[in-house]
Amino acid sequence: MKTIDIKHLDDLALGSVFLATGGGGDPHVPKLIAHEAIKQYGPVSLTKPEDVPDDAFIGTIGSVGAPTVSLELLPSLDDAANTLDAFEKYVGRKIDAVASFEIGGGNSLIPIVAAAGKGIPVIDGDGMGRALPEAQMMSYAIAGVKPTPAIACDYAGNSAAFDVSTTEIYERHIRSYSMAAGGMITAAEHPMTGIELKQSIIPGTLSFSVKLGQILRKNRGQADTLLKPLQQAFSSSIYGECRLVYTGKVVDKATQIVGGYDIGEATIEAFDGSGGKLVISIKNEYLLAKCDDRLVASVPDLITIVDYETGTPINAERLRYGQRVSVFATGCPDFYRSDAALKVVAPRCFGFDIDYVPIEDL
Amino acid sequence: MAQPENTDDMRIGIDVGGTHTDAVILDGDRVVAATKSLTSADVVSGITSALDTVLEDGAVSQKQINTVMVGTTQFTNAIVQRKQLSPVAAIRIALPSGKGMPPMVDWPSDIKDAMGDHVYELHGGYLYDGFPVADIRDAEVDHLIHDLIAKGLKNIAIASAFAPMNAEPEIRVSQKIKAAIPDARITLSHNFGRLGLMERENAAIMNTSLLPFAEQVIGSFLDALKQRGLECPAYVSQNDGTLMNADFVRAYPALTFASGPTNSLRGACKLTGLQDAVVVDIGGTTSDVGVLQGGFPRESNTVIEVGGVRTNFRMPDIIAIGLGGGSLVKDNGKQVGPQSVGHKLVSEGIVFGGETLTATDILVASGHADIGDSTKVSSISESTIKTATRTMHAMLDQAIEMMKPGGKDIPVVLVGGGAVLVTQGLNAASQIHRPTNAGVANAIGAAIAQIGGEAERMVSYRQVPREDAIKRVTNDARAKATAAGADPATLKAVDIEETAIPYMDEGATRLRVKVIGELSTAGKS
């Protein structure tokens, strides 16, 4: 893939929800905005990380805030490009290409909107390979790239600049600004050189998300028939293993807000009631899957819940009692299995008292 | 035999479908008379003839009828077929947010064209915390009104950001338009509840485009009743199984979308007295499987598309499987459906002299029904009959397993013309119910509908204690139900939904309350 055009957007959005593991928000509105941006400014060229010159200047961009708010506070066509303009003005340097900080959900599309508006390429890759709730969990941060200088803009073009000492502090400040600015902002952050990008990005996830979306669309139907094509795609990707771990009905789902996160559990029971129930632990994303206290999959590996009849991925916000679903577990990119990454994304970092075991070993 | 004494609660339910117009007279819980007739091209004559039949069959005089309830698919069909739609001015008040993403941006072009694609964006609206997105600009509103007048646009939909929490921008712009264009028909999005600006706006736009047609349809309903001497109040059923009075449906015709399946489920509830059950409506081509919870349909939570447009309407959670009386039987009975001869069953089915092996032929061959000419199916092998019968029951079993709440077996209610296909037990069913009059379950569902109201707000439990917040939203819902014709004394909350909002301050919650009560006219004459 060399360009992202209008025809890729549906598949990209669909694939991004699979990779979002329950989080990331509904990509419908970001997809519409990307559609309008490409219609107006033309297709966006897609650059592989390895083709980026070492001395290039790269910025990352995405939305920060509450998915529920974005149901009402719609983005504007030029929000993303305007944020990059403000960022360039602030740092005094032009950006050569833009990258995503999160492939899971709506933030897979925002860099495309920005790139279209600015007439610059978008990098094929992201900073998570999935969706994760906090900035310090990004591969950029784990690899030592500083989040600031950063600029965030609200719906009216008001902006705030950030210069902070740690990613944790950046996370706190940007969240507070988001809440003060209507609950949803666009942030340009993690400026880096080409060489830093190559060391820190999860590569190929944008084009892979398009491919994943194609598979989900072409094989639309009962989830068991999806497994084979999914396994074929994942086994030749940075993700590797893909398993269908459970099929059944959601018999319970309860979440509540704790510390700004939607935390809780969903319980799934086989259609005929036989065997153990599958319990999914949720903290914005699906983080842990256990069957009769036996661990089936855990973060940073991917847990995805799809509608049983269509294979359409369901995010945690829309998961509810009575839905008929299948659960897939997929390995995470090797980057996230390193000691440095597991220090910030292992189950214990989300408050679960277990060690991470790769799904291949479960 | 002495007739049971009539109570004061005689009502007529009418279901106007694409093919059939059904009517029933209910006296309390008792079905006095029921009829099924074909829907006429003008709709009205079909209704009047159905009314004549039930009144005559039931030996009931018009004066004994307290209320008439009508369920209709006409408005859904108008949207789906892009017919009877009027031009609409779609006005969104949310700038500077959403610039470059105008109303109807993601609509199929044929329906957008049918409504004229007149879109306007104004500054205004609110944020989640009550802070304004922008102030309304008088010059923009004046310019808008000028343009509406120049283009002669009178059907108007208005949506503003976070209108379910603060509808003031919608109301203010609407009042200004009304002052300048007194005969404007205006739909405000906050009357369609739920958060989701684009989906709510879409609902308002579709509703507005149906307003002139609604005027005509409701006018002809009322004419038909008047012609038959029925001067009692008339109501139309909406998608959540509750009723709207004539004035309300004139203003909110879009709320009738998907009322058909809802009425079918509610009718099954009435016919069996079951509050919790799986209801299987077996037709000619498909079986629709839905769930009754506490006497009402379980609602679907996914985004619902109507005519290719995303909306936030409340719809029952239904799965349709390809099994009906006309389903094709193949592979010695190992495969039944999803292809069907549909309404051509009466010419193409083998028992009717045709050449296509259908589910109905298997049924007749198995000796469980006497339909058509049974000698024509005597050559079907015993093993094909057995296998096909097993396949059909397995298909239903699987669908019921998927739909039933929890792992326990649950009563199953069979309705629809194809219900005869079930000749054996169903694994997932604790009991199987085949109510008499199941063929007119929709009309019965319409006849027993209640009045409801729903309200939603984003609240912060930090600022407002939870109990107070629930009380406030419940009061909003009660006011809506009362305005729609409910007796306030009978209203009770049937659903309180709290959705915590991720990434926001602790206690930020989307709170939705639904109340339901009896018609304020019921039982009075």
**Residue A52 confidence (pLDDT) above 60:** yes
Strand partners, B514: B454, B495
pLDDT of residue B301: 65
* CB contacts, 8 Å: A171 with chain B: none
pLDDT of residue B521: 61
* Residue A333 pLDDT class (50, 70, 90 cuts): very high
Mean pLDDT of A255-267: 77
B104 touches chain A (CB under 8 A): no
Between the two ends of chain B, the Cα-to-Cα distance in Å is 27
**How does the average pLDDT of chain A come out, rounded?**
93
Distance in Å, alpha carbon of B467 to nearest chain A alpha carbon: 17
pLDDT of residue B502: 53
pLDDT of residue B507: 65
* CB contacts, 8 Å: A322 with chain B: 291, 298, 317, 405
pLDDT of residue B524: 39
The HSE-up count of residue B437 (CA atoms within 13 Å, CB side) is 24
Does residue B67 contact residue B11 with C-beta atoms inside 8 Å? yes
Does residue B90 contact residue B205 with C-beta atoms inside 8 Å? yes
> What is the Cα–Cα distance from B225 to B231, expressed in whole angstroms?
7
pLDDT of residue B238: 86
pLDDT of residue B115: 94
- Nearest C-alpha in B relative to A40: B100
Length of chain A: 362
Distance in Å, alpha carbon of A72 to nearest chain B alpha carbon: 5
A41 touches chain B (CB under 8 A): no
pLDDT of residue B525: 34
Residues 176-235 of B with CB under 8 A from A: 195-198
- Nearest C-alpha in A relative to B290: A322
Task: Record the tokens describing residue A83, joined without a space.
Answer: 């944020």
> What is the Cα–Cα distance from B481 to B503, expressed in whole angstroms?
34
Mean pLDDT of B135-159: 97
- Closest partner CB to B101 (pick from A36, A178, A261): A36
3 state DSSP class of B6: coil
Does residue B512 contact residue B455 with C-beta atoms inside 8 Å? yes
Question: Regarding predicted confidence, which is higher, B30 or B185?
Answer: B185
Distance in Å, alpha carbon of B126 to nearest chain A alpha carbon: 9
- Closest partner CB to B128 (pick from A35, A37, A182): A182
- Closest partner CB to A69 (pick from B128, B310, B319): B128
* CB contacts, 8 Å: A33 with chain B: 100-101
* CB contacts, 8 Å: A259 with chain B: 506
pLDDT of residue A221: 78
Interface test mutation site (partner B, options A74, A102, A109, A319, max chain B beta carbons within 10 A): A74
Inter-chain touch A66–B503, beta carbons under 8 Å: yes
3 state DSSP class of B152: coil
DSSP B447-508: HT-BEEEEEEEEEETTTS-HHHHHHHHHHHHHHHHHHTTB-GGG-EEEEEEEEE-TTS-TTE
* Residue B523 pLDDT class (50, 70, 90 cuts): very low
Inter-chain touch A273–B408, beta carbons under 8 Å: yes
Q: What is the 3-state secondary structure (H, E, C) of B305-349?
A: EECCEEECCCCECCEEECCCCCEEEEHHHCEEEEEECHHHHHHHE
Inter-chain touch B398–A271, beta carbons under 8 Å: yes
B492 touches chain A (CB under 8 A): no
A277 touches chain B (CB under 8 A): no
DSSP A91-136: HTS--SEEEES--SGGGGTHHHHHHHHHT--EESEESSSS--S-GG
- Residue percentage of chain A with pLDDT more than 90: 80
Does residue B99 contact residue A40 with C-beta atoms inside 8 Å? no
* CB contacts, 8 Å: A261 with chain B: 502-503
Instruction: Identify the DSSP state of A274.
Output: -
Distance in Å, alpha carbon of B500 to nearest chain A alpha carbon: 6
Mind listing the pLDDT tens digit for each residue in B52-88?
999 999 898 888 998 999 998 888 888 888 888 999 9
Cis ω before B338 (30° cut-off from 0): yes
DSSP B365-381: HTTS---S-GGGGTTS-
Mind listing the pLDDT tens digit for each residue in B501-516?
655 566 677 788 889 8
Task: Record the tokens describing residue A145, joined without a space.
Answer: 């790239």
Between the two ends of chain A, the Cα-to-Cα distance in Å is 35
Strand partners, B16: B21, B72
Mean pLDDT of B399-404: 83
Length of chain B: 525
**Residue A57 confidence (pLDDT) above 90:** yes
Compute CA distances B224 → B201, B219, B228, B418, whole Å.
34, 9, 6, 31
Does residue A246 contact residue A275 with C-beta atoms inside 8 Å? no
Mind listing the pLDDT tens digit for each residue in A147-171?
999 999 999 999 999 999 999 999 9
Question: Regarding predicted confidence, which is higher, B314 or B130?
Answer: B130
Lowest mean pLDDT segment, chosen from A67-71, B4-8, B310-314, B396-400: B4-8
Mean pLDDT of B263-270: 90
> What is the Cα–Cα distance from B161 to B124, expressed in whole angstroms?
8
* CB contacts, 8 Å: A284 with chain B: 502-503
Inter-chain touch A259–B506, beta carbons under 8 Å: yes
Inter-chain touch B98–A157, beta carbons under 8 Å: no
- Closest partner CB to A72 (pick from B162, B291, B319): B162
Lowest mean pLDDT segment, chosen from A67-76, A90-99, B116-125: A67-76
Q: How many CB pairs under 8 A join A and B?
A: 146
Mean pLDDT of B327-342: 90
**Residue A58 confidence (pLDDT) above 90:** yes
Question: Angle at CA B249, nearest 5°, toward B243 and B250?
Answer: 165
**Residue B186 confidence (pLDDT) above 90:** yes
- Closest partner CB to A73 (pick from B161, B319, B500): B161
Q: How many CB atoms lie within 10 A of CB B371?
A: 18
Inter-chain touch B128–A72, beta carbons under 8 Å: yes
- Residue percentage of chain B with pLDDT more than 90: 49
**DSSP-derived pairing of the beta strands B155-160 and B89-95:** parallel
- Residue percentage of chain A with pLDDT more than 70: 99
Inter-chain touch A257–B310, beta carbons under 8 Å: no
- C-alpha closest to that of B120 among B145, B139, B138, B150: B145
The answer to whether ipTM exceeds 0.85 is yes
Compute CA distances B482 → B237, B449, B478, whole Å.
16, 15, 6
Inter-chain touch B503–A175, beta carbons under 8 Å: yes
Inter-chain touch B310–A262, beta carbons under 8 Å: no
B282 touches chain A (CB under 8 A): no
pLDDT of residue B503: 52
**Residue B8 confidence (pLDDT) above 70:** no
Q: Which class for A273: exposed (0-12), middle (13-18), buried (19 or more C-beta within 10 A)? A: middle
* CB contacts, 8 Å: A310 with chain B: none
Mean pLDDT of A135-156: 96
Residues 431-470 of B with CB under 8 A from A: none
B99 touches chain A (CB under 8 A): yes
* CB contacts, 8 Å: B105 with chain A: 32, 36
Lowest mean pLDDT segment, chosen from A243-257, A317-331, B6-20, B335-349: B6-20
Instruction: Identify the DSSP state of A331.
Output: P
Inter-chain touch A72–B99, beta carbons under 8 Å: no
Mind listing the pLDDT tens digit for each residue in B415-460?
887 889 999 999 889 999 999 888 888 899 999 888 888 888 878 8
Distance in Å, alpha carbon of B228 to nearest chain A alpha carbon: 45
Inter-chain touch A183–B407, beta carbons under 8 Å: no
Question: Angle at CA A55, nearest 5°, toward A49 and A60?
Answer: 55
Residues 143-172 of B with CB under 8 A from A: 161-162
- C-alpha closest to that of A21 among A277, A284, A235: A284
* CB contacts, 8 Å: B127 with chain A: 73, 182-183
A353 touches chain B (CB under 8 A): no
Mean pLDDT of A258-286: 86
Instruction: Identify the DSSP state of B135.
Output: P
3 state DSSP class of B524: coil
Q: What is the pTM of this model?
A: 0.85
Question: Regarding predicted confidence, which is higher, B94 or B466?
Answer: B94
- Nearest C-alpha in A relative to B400: A271
**Residue B2 confidence (pLDDT) above 60:** no
Residues 65-84 of A with CB under 8 A from B: 65-69, 71-78
